[in-house]
Chain A
Amino acid sequence: MSTLQEAWPFLRDGFELTITLLVLSMILSAVLGTILAAMRVSPVAPFRLFGAGYVNIFRNTPLVVLFILVVEGFPPIDIRPSLEQVGLNTFETLAVIALSVYTAAFVCEVVRSGVNTVDAGQAEAARSVGMSFGQTLRIIVLPQAFRSVIPPMASVYIALAKNTSVAAAFGVLEATAQLSRMNERSIAPITVLFLYLAAGYIIIVWIISAIAAILERRLAVAR
């Protein structure tokens, strides 16, 4: 497998960046998505409206268009110098922002439906034994919601892993971008190069599914 040896540096660099984009966007979209979900279930009408508006806008926007908005549109809004000061590649950071803004809309819907699957009686029981709103949320509702959230959350993160490839079209040298780089150097037939990269993505998808399966089993409750 000498072609794999030759392709290896490209694959390694590419997937290193893919995984960096993936992990950063996972964290950022989870935080943003949970805040949005809290807004969507809030008793305060303007927050609900904002949450619903956000979800409907970004869920229906193609990721490529969002990349145009963020990656092409934001640099003139002098975010660029402040990013370069902390030592981050501008395009990579903007890609993380675009991916997170997009994925947060899906995370929001997952978390919201997770909270709604918890039986209303659970929270009522918690309140009637005198728990505060925070206690109800922390001790009763969220642990139960978390369990039902795992499978759909895994789907969202699998989609995110594949979506990091869109950054290739905007000057980020992650895994998908390595296809043309390796092809220019004619390291191996393009089909072989494609299969190497596809294998990398399949492994990432497997890892996410496996983690979800383990978590689901750990948190499973005998009913």
Chain B
Amino acid sequence: MTTPVLYDVPGPRARARHAVYSVIGGLAILALLGYIFWRLWDAEQITPEKWEFLQESAIVEDLAEGLRVTLSLAATSILLAIAFGAVFAAGRLSDFWLIRLPSIAVIEFFRAVPVLLMILFLNFSYTEQLGTYWSIVLALMVYNGAVLAEVFRAGILAVPKGQTEAGQAIGLRKGQVLRFILAPQAVSSMLPAIISQCVVALKDTTLGFAIGSSDITDRAKLIFTDIFYNNPVAVALVLMAVFITINYTLSLIARWLEARMRRRGERVVHLQGAQAGLD
């Protein structure tokens, strides 16, 4: 725990009082969780037969295949998003308004439009050309790319001004300063933000559910909509476990990386108001 702002370091009497509160609070939380469990059990949502699908190897293999699709969707779109973000960050940093203003418009547009709306639009209008897989990848690319463009821009702007000036002093052109001096120094400072964005991309792959993407969530739908199983709660809890495991690991890596960089006195960039996994 960080230094408590709201109360003093407890003395012996406060500690005794806190111990009593802990017992009461603990019991209250257990009672709440117990009540939720009982309601779900009573509604026959988590009774043993609702979990039987986990014992059927065909279903588990199908879900594993779906997870592979999910990871492939996320990885492809984040890689493309990095390229997209780099291009538009450079565009936004340009001194030439004919490049700068369109770049700003593209970034702000894709940051403000819901990913699902873009997925549906791409899927309706370019069904034959794109198919479901690329509809999702492109929608995720432009959204995450627009967010990353802002991360990249912040990273570049955070490099001390003297670096640019030194580059110009030895006769490098603007593009060369960006490529050889600023970008290499900015990359490491952006790494935690990029990893956090992977969490967002991974979560958003599930939006493909709306157009039948055959990712893990889409395949899971076939289980809980089956009259024989009819177990949305159990299936959702399994999906939650899968996603939480992956995303929590990713955010631990991002946090560890950031802590290590801060210890070494390196710069770490974040967008204003940004929060890991916010989407």
- The residues of A with any CB-CB pair to B shorter than 8 Å are 41, 43-48, 50, 56-57, 59-66, 68-69, 72-73, 76-78, 106, 109-110, 115-116, 118-120, 122-124, 127, 133, 136-137, 141, 151-156, 158-159, 162-166, 168-169, 175-176, 179-180, 183, 190-191, 194, 197-198, 201-202, 205-206
Bound form: Cα–Cα A9–B180 in Å: 54
B258 near A: Cβ within 8 Å? no
Knowing A65-B217, A65-B236, the reply to whether A43 touches B117 (Cβ < 8 A) is: no
**What B residues does A180 contact at CB under 8 A?**
120, 124
B40 near A77 (CB under 8 angstroms)?
Answer: yes
CB within 8 Å of A: which of B8-50? 8, 10, 14, 18, 21-22, 25-26, 29, 39-40, 42-45
CB within 8 Å of A: which of B36-87? 39-40, 42-45
A116 near B5 (CB under 8 angstroms)?
Answer: yes
A61 near B5 (CB under 8 angstroms)?
Answer: no
A57 near B120 (CB under 8 angstroms)?
Answer: no
Knowing A50-B29, A65-B239, A116-B2, the reply to whether A78 touches B275 (Cβ < 8 A) is: no
Knowing A61-B240, A64-B209, the reply to whether A118 touches B276 (Cβ < 8 A) is: no
When the two chains form the complex, which single residue of A155, A158, A190 contacts B124, counting CB atoms closer than 8 Å? A190
Which chain A residue lies CB-closest to B8?
A127
Minimum Cβ distance to chain A for residue B156 (Å): 21
B121 near A179 (CB under 8 angstroms)?
Answer: yes
A73 near B232 (CB under 8 angstroms)?
Answer: yes
Bound form: Cα–Cα A92–B204 in Å: 21
B235 near A: Cβ within 8 Å? yes
Which chain A residue lies CB-closest to B277?
A59
**What A residues does B261 contact at CB under 8 A?**
none
**What B residues does A46 contact at CB under 8 A?**
22, 25-26, 29
When the two chains form the complex, which single residue of B5, B116, B239 contacts A168, counting CB atoms closer than 8 Å? B116
- The residues of B with any CB-CB pair to A shorter than 8 Å are 1-8, 10, 14, 18, 21-22, 25-26, 29, 39-40, 42-45, 108-109, 111-117, 120-121, 124-125, 199, 202-207, 209-210, 217, 220-221, 224, 232-233, 235-237, 239-240, 243-244, 247-248, 251, 272-279
Knowing A45-B22, A46-B25, A60-B277, the reply to whether A190 touches B121 (Cβ < 8 A) is: yes
Knowing A64-B217, A180-B124, the reply to whether A123 touches B113 (Cβ < 8 A) is: no
Q: List 23 A-B contacts (CB under 8 A).
A: A43-B7, A43-B21, A59-B276, A63-B203, A68-B220, A69-B240, A72-B236, A77-B45, A120-B4, A123-B6, A133-B7, A141-B5, A141-B6, A159-B279, A165-B114, A165-B117, A169-B116, A169-B207, A197-B117, A201-B112, A201-B117, A205-B111, A205-B112
Bound form: Cα–Cα A28–B45 in Å: 26
Bound form: Cα–Cα A202–B114 in Å: 10
A41 near B4 (CB under 8 angstroms)?
Answer: yes
**What B residues does A162 contact at CB under 8 A?**
112-115
B120 near A179 (CB under 8 angstroms)?
Answer: yes
Knowing A43-B4, A43-B18, A202-B112, the reply to whether A179 touches B117 (Cβ < 8 A) is: yes
Bound form: Cα–Cα A191–B108 in Å: 18
Which chain B residue lies CB-closest to A205?
B112
B243 near A73 (CB under 8 angstroms)?
Answer: no
A155 near B240 (CB under 8 angstroms)?
Answer: no
**What B residues does A116 contact at CB under 8 A?**
2, 5
Minimum Cβ distance to chain B for residue A128 (Å): 10
Minimum Cβ distance to chain A for residue B204 (Å): 7
Q: Which 8 A-B pairs have the closest CB atoms?
A: A72-B232, A69-B236, A60-B247, A165-B114, A155-B273, A46-B26, A73-B233, A64-B206
A56 near B45 (CB under 8 angstroms)?
Answer: no
When the two chains form the complex, which single residue of A48, A123, A141, A194 contacts B117, counting CB atoms closer than 8 Å? A194
Minimum Cβ distance to chain A for residue B247 (Å): 4
Which chain A residue lies CB-closest to B224?
A72
Other than the given A59-B277, A60-B248, 16 more pairs (CB < 8 A) read A48-B1, A61-B203, A63-B206, A65-B236, A69-B233, A69-B236, A73-B232, A76-B45, A77-B45, A120-B4, A151-B273, A152-B272, A155-B273, A168-B116, A198-B112, A198-B117
Minimum Cβ distance to chain A for residue B207 (Å): 6
**What A residues does B44 contact at CB under 8 A?**
76
